[in-house]
Amino acid sequence: MNDSKSCRNFVAEHIDVLPKSGIRKFFDLVNTMDNVISLGIGEPDFVSPWTICESAIYSLERGRTSYTSNLGLLSLRKAICSYVNKYFNLQYDPQKECIVTVGVSEAFDLVIRAITEPGDEIIYHEPCYVSYNAEIKMAHGVAVPVDTHEKNEFALSPADLEKAITPRTKAIILNFPCNPTGALLTPEQSAAIAEIAVRHDLLVIADQIYSELHYDSDSMDSIASLPGMKERTIFLHGFSKAFAMTGFRIGYACGPAQIIDAMMKIHQYSMLCAPITAQYAAEEALKNAIPDMQNMVEQYKARRNLIVSRFNEIGLPCVNPHGAFYVFPNIQSTGLSSQDFAEELLNRECVAVVPGSAFGACGEGYIRCSYATSMDEIRLAMDKIEHFVKSLKQ
Amino acid sequence: MKDEITKGILKALAANGKLSPDDLALQFNITAAEAAAEVARLEREHSILGYHAVIQEGELENSEVKAIIEVHVRPERDGGFDRIARRLSKFPQVVSLYLMSGGYDLMVEVKGNNLNEVAMFVASKLATIDGVLGTGTHFLLKKYKEAGILFQEEEKNERLKIVP
């Protein structure tokens, strides 16, 4: 006899139906193999600059191991606001328009939860970072993807965006430079999107995490700096990508005091504050690691040039991405799906890439390759991809 | 070629002399032929004076020793420290030589096959040159970093193989 009484499913339905990240399955497969050259890693291959690590150590030596203000150390918020002012021409008050979070991921989660009422529609562009869709659904919102296309270099078309707007639309998420495509918006596209946001009275959530990693323009920008936009934009940024600080988990949000205050309430009850050691490290990054960051950007640029030219030589057309550290080549000529291409490439050549379909349905027919890896590894991986593609044609 | 690219090439080669014209072409958005021509010009015009490898200690099987020597010099009325510095720098034992601010005048890095050889060089050549008032010799015991390169291997940084 079985005495145990079967349990009902305790998992909430909206979480139960949420699919696992498309990357997860592939990750499990890659992990079973040795000697894989991975172009699938969405984080810098550099170790955090030493001045940052040393500051973290120093903060521990001084016994700085307590909680901080919910909003984060005031000295860090001041440094963040001054950095955002200098490089993005945006003025925020560190006392009430800035919050330090556990990575940009938390900042994103906070803003989505702070603004979404059940049934609110939130528009985002695909292919995109894997969390957007799920985050919106977890907040009981309706996720509305707008496809971006190779012919537009994966920038968001203002006309396509406008078609997706309904009376229930509350916000638009913009992530440029974009993971996984490396796309940027032109100034004209930004202006047109800003005009649409103002006309429809929408909030813009600008995920700027890759902003420093741009290769063909002189400066960084944010849609928040356009006329009429600062009051309707939440500027999300962090230290992970530009300063190679992924494991420190420090992000931040700047925006209108009312929204930052709402985000602070959620953060206060769920997270309390970001880790103090990492906050000191982040402050040092802004003070003294900008030259290190610029040096990393130069190296990414050379790698970008190499990987783009190699994909085009091989016959897999590849848009030249202007930012981030990803390329998103078109593999349709091979006749394989993104998933099959990635699996076959892994099995035959031990090279890992991520199927484009993991970033949204319109990523099908593409793969994402990260060039946050050494030149030698990129060269070797590209030779293997060339060998693989040639073998498919025989 | 743009001054900015020339400076970039010099900076890149100073950090890594092995960069090929292909590497430089990728970094600066120029052709490999243009990169090769620019490097040749920089070499011809003595903007680039040489290249060398930084070799791990003990790889060359000899007991080469190095010393840093502080040298006090009496500067000359015409030419200051330059004539004596030039004279010293021509000895093959002298690896590098700098004019310093502070407690002494010239810092001379000297190499030799053993302690005795370096000591003899200092005593019989360097210290006896007219104008040299005194020397202080410090033998190098262990290298931790040279020319921007660490001599102790760092533990490999393990990243997850796939990250969204």
Nearest residue in B to A295, CA atom: B12
> Could you tell me the sign of the dihedral formed by the alpha carbons of B142, B146, B150, B153, in that order?
negative
B73 plus B132 within the same structural domain:
yes
Looking at the 3D structure of chain B, how many domains does it have? 2
Please judge whether B164 and A38 are an interchain contact, meaning their C-beta atoms are less than 8 angstroms apart.
no
- Distance from the Cα of B62 to chain A's closest Cα (Å) equals 32
Asked if residue B150 is part of any domain, the answer here is no
Nearest by CB to residue A23, choosing from B26, B29, B164, is: B164
- DSSP-derived secondary structure letter, A346: H
Please judge whether B162 and A26 are an interchain contact, meaning their C-beta atoms are less than 8 angstroms apart.
yes
Please judge whether A358 and B29 are an interchain contact, meaning their C-beta atoms are less than 8 angstroms apart.
no
* Mean pLDDT confidence for B35-39: 97
User: What CA dihedral angle connects A128, A130, A135 and A141, to 10 degrees?
Assistant: 50
Mean pLDDT, all residues of chain B: 92
pLDDT, tens digit, for every residue of A350-371? Answer: 999 999 999 999 999 999 999 9
* Mean pLDDT confidence for B106-131: 94
Asked if residue B156 is part of any domain, the answer here is no
B28 plus B69 within the same structural domain:
no
The answer to whether the beta carbons of residues A322 and A7 sit under 8 Å apart is no
Tell which B residues from 21 to 50 touch A, by Cβ distance under 8 Å. Answer: 23, 26-27, 29
Q: Is the ipTM of this complex over 0.90?
A: no
Lowest-pLDDT choice from A14-23, A85-94, A134-143: A14-23
- Distance from the Cα of A21 to chain B's closest Cα (Å) equals 9
B72 plus B38 within the same structural domain:
no
Please judge whether A354 and B161 are an interchain contact, meaning their C-beta atoms are less than 8 angstroms apart.
no
User: What residues in B contact A245, CB-CB < 8 Å?
Assistant: none
Q: What is the pLDDT of residue A221?
A: 92
pLDDT, tens digit, for every residue of A212-230? Answer: 999 998 889 999 999 999 9
Q: What is the pLDDT of residue B118?
A: 95
Q: What is the pLDDT of residue B148?
A: 86
In the structure, what pLDDT confidence band is assigned to residue A1 with cuts at 50, 70 and 90? low
Mean pLDDT, all residues of chain A: 96
- SS3 assignment, position A342: helix
Q: How much of chain A, in percent, has pLDDT values that exceed 70?
A: 99
Domain locations along chain A: 13-48+292-393, 50-289
Q: What is the pLDDT of residue B58?
A: 79
- Distance from the Cα of A93 to chain B's closest Cα (Å) equals 33
pLDDT, tens digit, for every residue of A24-44? Answer: 878 888 988 889 999 999 999
Q: What is the pLDDT of residue B149?
A: 87
- Distance from the Cα of A178 to chain B's closest Cα (Å) equals 12
Per-residue buried b or exposed e for A210-241, using 16+ beta carbons within 10 Å of the residue's own CB: bbbbbbeeeebbbbbbbeebbebbbbbbbbbb
Please judge whether A27 and B23 are an interchain contact, meaning their C-beta atoms are less than 8 angstroms apart.
no
In the structure, what pLDDT confidence band is assigned to residue B61 with cuts at 50, 70 and 90? low
Q: What is the pLDDT of residue B157?
A: 77
Mutate to test the interface with A, among B28, B158, B162, B163 (most CBs of A within 10 A): B162
Domain that holds residue B76: 65-143
Q: What is the pLDDT of residue A371?
A: 97
- Distance from the Cα of A143 to chain B's closest Cα (Å) equals 19
Q: What number of C-beta contacts closer than 8 Å exist between A and B?
A: 50
- Distance from the Cα of A75 to chain B's closest Cα (Å) equals 31
In the structure, what pLDDT confidence band is assigned to residue A2 with cuts at 50, 70 and 90? low
- Distance from the Cα of A347 to chain B's closest Cα (Å) equals 15
Q: Give chain A's contact residues with B (Cβ, < 8 Å).
A: 21, 23, 26-27, 30-31, 36, 38, 40-43, 45, 47, 129-131, 179, 298, 301-303, 305-306, 309, 352, 354, 358, 375
Look up residue A233 and give its two tokens.
Answer: 């934009």
In the structure, what pLDDT confidence band is assigned to residue A393 with cuts at 50, 70 and 90? confident
Look up residue A348 and give its two tokens.
Answer: 């035959």
pLDDT, tens digit, for every residue of A53-103? Answer: 999 999 999 999 999 999 999 999 999 999 999 999 999 999 999 999 999
Q: What is the pLDDT of residue B125?
A: 94
- Of residues A339, A318, A336, the one with CA closest to residue A328: A318
Q: What is the pLDDT of residue A26?
A: 82
Of all residues in chain A, what percent are helix, strand and coil, respectively (each to 5)? 45, 15, 40
Q: How much of chain A, in percent, has pLDDT values that exceed 90?
A: 93
Q: What is the pLDDT of residue A120?
A: 98
Residue that the structure tokens 């602070």 belong to: A264
* Mean pLDDT confidence for A374-379: 95
Say yes or no to pLDDT of A21 above 90: no
Say yes or no to pLDDT of A301 above 70: yes
CB neighbours of B41 closer than 8 A, spacing ≥ 6?
none
DSSP for A244-297, written as a single string: T-GGG--EEEE--HHHHHHHHHHHHHHT-S--HHHHHHHHHHHHH-HHHHHHHH
Q: Which residue has the higher pLDDT, B98 or B62?
A: B98
User: What residues in A contact B161, CB-CB < 8 Å?
Assistant: 27, 30-31, 36, 38, 40-41, 352
Q: Which helix (H) or strand (E) holds A193?
A: helix A187-199
B35 plus B71 within the same structural domain:
no
* Mean pLDDT confidence for A173-199: 97
B30 plus B95 within the same structural domain:
no
Asked if residue B106 is part of any domain, the answer here is yes
pLDDT, tens digit, for every residue of A308-321? Answer: 999 999 999 999 99
Asked if residue B163 is part of any domain, the answer here is no
* Mean pLDDT confidence for B20-40: 94
Round to whole Å and give the CA distance between B62 and B4: 43
Nearest by CB to residue B162, choosing from A23, A306, A309, is: A23
Round to whole Å and give the CA distance between A243 and A250: 11
B159 has a chain A CB within 8 A of its CB: yes
B76 plus B119 within the same structural domain:
yes
Give the CATH number for residue B25. 1.10.10
Return the ∠ at Cα A163 (arms to A161 and A165), rounded to 5°.
Answer: 75
- Of residues B48, B52, B96, the one with CA closest to residue B71: B96
Asked if residue B130 is part of any domain, the answer here is yes
* Mean pLDDT confidence for B90-110: 96
B13 plus B71 within the same structural domain:
no
Nearest residue in A to B11, CA atom: A295
Confirm or reject CATH 2.60.34.10 for domain A13-48+292-393, answering yes or no.
Answer: no
Confirm or reject CATH 3.40.640.10 for domain A50-289, answering yes or no.
Answer: yes
Nearest by CB to residue B26, choosing from A30, A40, A305, is: A305
Asked if residue B115 is part of any domain, the answer here is yes
The answer to whether the beta carbons of residues A177 and A322 sit under 8 Å apart is yes
Nearest residue in A to B28, CA atom: A302
Give the CATH number for residue B108. 3.30.70.920
* Mean pLDDT confidence for A250-260: 98
Look up residue A194 and give its two tokens.
Answer: 């800003």
Asked if residue B16 is part of any domain, the answer here is yes
The answer to whether the beta carbons of residues A231 and A198 sit under 8 Å apart is no
Say yes or no to pLDDT of A4 above 80: no
B117 has a chain A CB within 8 A of its CB: no
pLDDT, tens digit, for every residue of A284-295? Answer: 999 999 999 999
CB neighbours of B79 closer than 8 A, spacing ≥ 6?
none
Round to whole Å and give the CA distance between B125 and B69: 13
